């Protein structure tokens, strides 16, 4: 097969006249390549148009210090470069990705200047139209995508701040309470020390050891669950006993002792260890130590919640991870649910995850964006209340993820347009119409999968199919 035959069966050039095809062939050249050959490089001026005749070319971009495959040219007639034909300078006139041969094959290569010249001679009006549309679309697309990223970043930051606010505030309250408990502990120890100084030191030491054993016994008690009324009755009983034994502001420590399981029998044993002057300091010391322990438990819980949120955020953003990796999609979905937690308070979340689901080779951070867009749209469709169902299953050499909401549904005419760039049914300040376009690109172009919607009133399902190996 000759070069002319190749170009006649290539969609890009198949409709050219005999004379125009001859001119194009004179302006260009046929280039053979072998596996591993680098044909063009990201960031360099796109001074040539590359048209694939046969073979496979991997397109990759530099991301996070690594070269990441983003697509492949494998169909005859696919092309790359040639941008300086329409704009001679600037960021729009460079190769968007690097091209490396995966197999042997051939390309038809034409200098961009010749492409611009020939199109200008054949169809001068068309050339001006292409140049204008190219510049306008690139500008609008870049601005809109940047806005989409900023909106998403702002939403994620707001969600993270909201989720962190409660445990952070609880931690501060626990720290303040711990400070007060430690102060009370030191004051009560001081009072016990003053009384010990007036008595035999050996006897005082024995009493304190016995008091500490009594504290340990109370700390290790298993408290039976009580109703609020029963708990109040217990606190009142303990408070009354303390007040009868001359303990100042007995109500302050009654709640702590009662919640730990203190009863009249335990309190009588406490009184039997000390003379009347030491009952108050002893009770306060035990209460402050127990309170400090409870506050430390609260602090451990709240800081653990903060750490878990940070871990979820790291997993969500895929910090410190290679762009292409083996991914458990369930982990990504769970991280997304954590990040969207503040929007799910009135929504019931049902999970149906396959146990035997394998990990897939994927760009984890990009899949996170897919789950965020789909779950976020589902939440919006339910207007704050409803049921969100998430399911995963294995289907041959693919995994399937389904995101179903109980919202109002998508009209048939709208369903045909959901993946179109800039199409949105949301108010101007709520969406740019790029979320599902980006989602489709990530699923289909980046991972070789597919995505589709099925909708009826009260039930809309987004189905994502992803290959286990790219």
pLDDT of 129 higher than 60: no
Contact (Cβ atoms closer than 8 angstroms) between residue 97 and residue 71: yes
pLDDT of 428 higher than 50: no
More confident residue, 262 or 227: 262
pLDDT at residue 364 in the model? 82
| 189-205 tens-digit pLDDT | 888 877 776 766 667 77
- Across the range 335-357, mean pLDDT stands at 86
Whether the predicted model's global pTM rises above the 0.95 cut = no
More confident residue, 353 or 418: 353
| CA torsion through residues 112, 113, 116, 117, sign | negative
The helix (run of H) or strand (run of E) holding residue 406 is none
- Across the range 2-15, mean pLDDT stands at 84
pLDDT at residue 392 in the model? 95
pLDDT at residue 319 in the model? 47
pLDDT at residue 405 in the model? 94
Contacts of 432 (CB under 8 A, 6+ apart): 144, 147, 148, 151, 422, 424
Structure tokens at 470: 């790219």
| 412-422 tens-digit pLDDT | 777 777 777 65
Strand 360-363 and strand 324-327: the pairing is: antiparallel
- Across the range 421-450, mean pLDDT stands at 70
pLDDT at residue 348 in the model? 92
pLDDT at residue 147 in the model? 60
pLDDT at residue 176 in the model? 86
Q: In 203-239, which positions are buried (b, 16+ CB within 10 angstroms) versus exposed (e)?
A: ebeebbeebeebbeebeeeeeeeeeeeeeeebbebbb
Structure tokens at 392: 């995963």
pLDDT at residue 156 in the model? 63
pLDDT at residue 141 in the model? 54
Q: Going edge to edge, which strands form the sheet with 98-101?
A: 38-40, 98-101, 57-63, 66-73
- Across the range 66-75, mean pLDDT stands at 80
Contact (Cβ atoms closer than 8 angstroms) between residue 399 and residue 468: yes
pLDDT at residue 429 in the model? 44
- Mean residue pLDDT of the chain comes to 80
More confident residue, 172 or 163: 172
pLDDT of 440 higher than 90: no
Least confident interval from 3-17, 63-77, 444-458: 63-77
pLDDT at residue 55 in the model? 93
More confident residue, 72 or 227: 72
The pLDDT > 90 percentage for the chain reads 18
Q: What is the DSSP letter of 362?
A: E
- Rounded distance between C-alpha atoms, residue 345 and residue 356, angstroms: 30
More confident residue, 339 or 29: 29
pLDDT at residue 139 in the model? 55
- Rounded distance between C-alpha atoms, residue 120 and residue 21, angstroms: 15
- Across the range 82-94, mean pLDDT stands at 64
The separation between CA 146 and the C-alpha centre of its own chain, rounded to angstroms, equals 19
The pLDDT confidence band at residue 258, using thresholds 50, 70 and 90, is confident
């Amino acid at each position: 097969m000759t070069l002319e035959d190749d170009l006649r069966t290539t969609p890009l050039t198949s409709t050219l006249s005999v004379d125009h095809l001859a001119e194009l062939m004179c302006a260009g050249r046929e280039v053979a390549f072998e596996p591993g050959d680098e044909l063009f490089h990201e960031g360099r001026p796109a001074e040539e148009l590359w048209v694939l005749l046969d073979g496979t070319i991997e397109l990759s971009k530099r991301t996070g210090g690594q070269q990441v495959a983003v697509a492949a040219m494998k169909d005859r007639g696919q092309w790359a470069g040639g941008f300086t034909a329409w704009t001679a300078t600037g960021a729009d006139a460079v190769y968007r990705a690097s091209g490396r041969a995966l197999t042997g094959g051939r390309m038809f290569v034409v200098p961009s200047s010749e492409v611009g010249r020939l199109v200008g001679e054949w169809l001068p009006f068309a050339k001006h139209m292409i140049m204008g549309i190219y510049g306008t679309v690139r500008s609008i697309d870049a601005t809109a995508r940047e806005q989409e990223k900023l909106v998403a970043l702002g939403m994620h930051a707001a969600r993270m701040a909201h989720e962190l606010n409660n445990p952070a505030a609880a931690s501060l309250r626990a720290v303040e309470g711990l400070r007060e408990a430690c102060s009370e502990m030191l004051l009560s120890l001081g009072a016990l020390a003053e009384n010990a100084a007036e008595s035999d030191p050996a006897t005082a030491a024995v009493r304190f050891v016995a008091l500490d054993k009594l504290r340990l016994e109370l700390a290790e008690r298993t408290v039976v669950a009580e109703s609020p009324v029963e708990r109040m009755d217990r606190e009142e009983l303990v408070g009354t006993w303390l007040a009868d034994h001359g303990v100042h502001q007995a109500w302050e420590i009654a709640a702590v002792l009662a919640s730990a399981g203190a009863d009249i029998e335990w309190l009588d044993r406490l009184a039997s260890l000390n003379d009347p002057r030491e009952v108050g300091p002893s009770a306060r010391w035990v209460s402050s130590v127990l309170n400090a322990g409870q506050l430390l438990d609260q602090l451990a819980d709240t800081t653990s919640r903060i750490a878990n949120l940070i871990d979820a955020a790291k997993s969500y953003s895929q910090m410190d991870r290679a762009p292409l990796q083996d991914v458990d999609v369930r982990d990504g979905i769970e991280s997304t649910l954590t990040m969207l937690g503040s929007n799910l308070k009135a929504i019931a979340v049902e999970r149906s995850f396959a146990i035997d689901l394998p990990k897939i080779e994927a760009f984890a951070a990009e899949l996170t964006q897919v789950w965020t867009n789909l779950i976020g749209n589902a939440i919006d469709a339910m207007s704050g209340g409803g049921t969100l169902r998430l399911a995963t299953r294995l289907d041959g050499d693919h995994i399937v993820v389904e995101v179903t909401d109980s919202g109002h549904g998508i009209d048939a005419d709208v369903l045909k347009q959901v993946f179109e760039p800039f199409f949105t049914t949301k108010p101007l300040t709520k969406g740019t119409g790029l979320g599902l376009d980006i989602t489709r690109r990530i699923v289909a172009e980046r991972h070789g999968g597919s995505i589709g919607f099925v909708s009826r009133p009260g039930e809309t399902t987004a189905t994502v199919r992803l290959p286990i190996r790219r």
